[in-house]
Structure 1
Amino acid sequence: MLVSKKEIDVRYAETDQMGVVYHANYLVWMEVGRTDLIRRLGFNYAEMERDGILSPVTDVQVSYKKPLRYGDTAVVHTWIEHYDGLRVIYGYEILTPNGEIAITATSSHVCVKKENFRPISIRRLYPTWHQAYEKAKKQSIAE
């Protein structure tokens, strides 16, 4: 499977009163990883939005393991955990500077028409995305 690797420097504004990254910021970093993975596959989510297609999150699961702090560099690993032509589940690991797992997570998405939020088939409407997702979930190389 293809794995995107994106480094993020933890900013002071991303920490809470305890001096650790506020839990909701991991969701933002997951989006950064997801966008990078899509870009590495040769696509641009903004172009899909211009076509009137959105990809809302339908579920998020996050397990917090180790804290990250201001000044740390987080490493976001993102991959396609599951894809069936309609739904996509992305997998994530965010690592601490010494390589320990800070979080593990998944986010589930479905593509819908902007005007009515009816689901669309990625397989039919975007066959090149479909082929790339099928290939990426099966690849055995990691960056």
Structure 2
Amino acid sequence: MPDNFHFSTEIRVRLPETDAMGIVFHGAFFTFLEVGRTDYLRNLGLAGSHAQPIKDFANLVARACCDFRSSARFDDPLVIHVRIAEIRRTSFTFEFRIVHKQEARLVAEGHTVHVAIDPATTKPIAVPEAFRAQVRKFEGKALSEPKP
């Protein structure tokens, strides 16, 4: 597992995730990030419902980035390494590394930035302390929490 990552989940590339050349379509990687994020939250006991993926508060994705390092194809086994790297006052950042399981080859890496919101107004709110504490406990010293 890459340094500073304490969680991973596995997927196998499905046919609809590939393009006409048999390579994983670039947009499918964002689905892989979502799978990793959901499994990470479930592992920490923080997963909510479909309507609210984090059980204690609503959030929106404010930024999503993915850098493609090598190709993946139909039926390739992939490992998605996931961590929360940073929690700020109203936002938090997931980082991802996607590796070909058999070849130990980096396929993609990326991050998503999420903003905690009031669902009625979609205005930012402080990331709840209970969420912070659970992530802090799991991530340990690898977690960055800049002071405002």
TM score, norm. by length of structure 2:
0.83
For 1:53 and 1:90, locate their aligned partners in 2 and report how far apart those are by CA, in whole Å. 16
Task: Give the corresponding residue for 2:32.
Answer: 29
Offset, 1:111: 1.2
Shift of 1:128: 2.0
Aligned AA for 1:114? P
Q: Please list every run of 5 or more consecutive structure 2 residues that lacks an aligned counterpart in the other structure.
A: 143-148
Aligned length: 137
Task: Give the deviation of 1:47 after TM superposition.
Answer: 8.3
Deviation at 1:54, TM superposition (A): 2.3
Distance in structure 2 (CA, Å) of the matches to 1:90 and 1:52: 17
Hey, what does 2:59 align to over in structure 1?
55
Provide the C-alpha distance between the structure 1 equivalents of 2:5 and 2:51, rounded to a whole number of angstroms. 21
Consecutive unaligned residues in structure 1, runs of 5 or more: none
1:61-140 to structure 2, matched below 5 A, reads: 61-97=65-101, 98-123=103-128, 127-138=129-140
Cα-Cα RMSD: 2.2
Q: TM-score, normalised by structure 1?
A: 0.85
Against the structure 1 CA distance between its residues 84 and 136, is the aligned structure 2 distance closer, same or farther, given a 3 Å change threshold? farther
Aligned-pair CA distance for 1:75:
0.8
Alpha carbons 1:80, 1:136 under 8 Å: kept = no
**Structure 1 CA distance for aligned equivalents of residues 74 and 51 of structure 2:** 35
Tell me which of the two structures has the higher relative contact order, counting C-alpha pairs closer than 8 angstroms and 6 or more residues apart. Answer: 1
1:80: how far off?
A: 0.9
Identity of aligned residues (%): 23
1:12 to 2:29 alignment: no
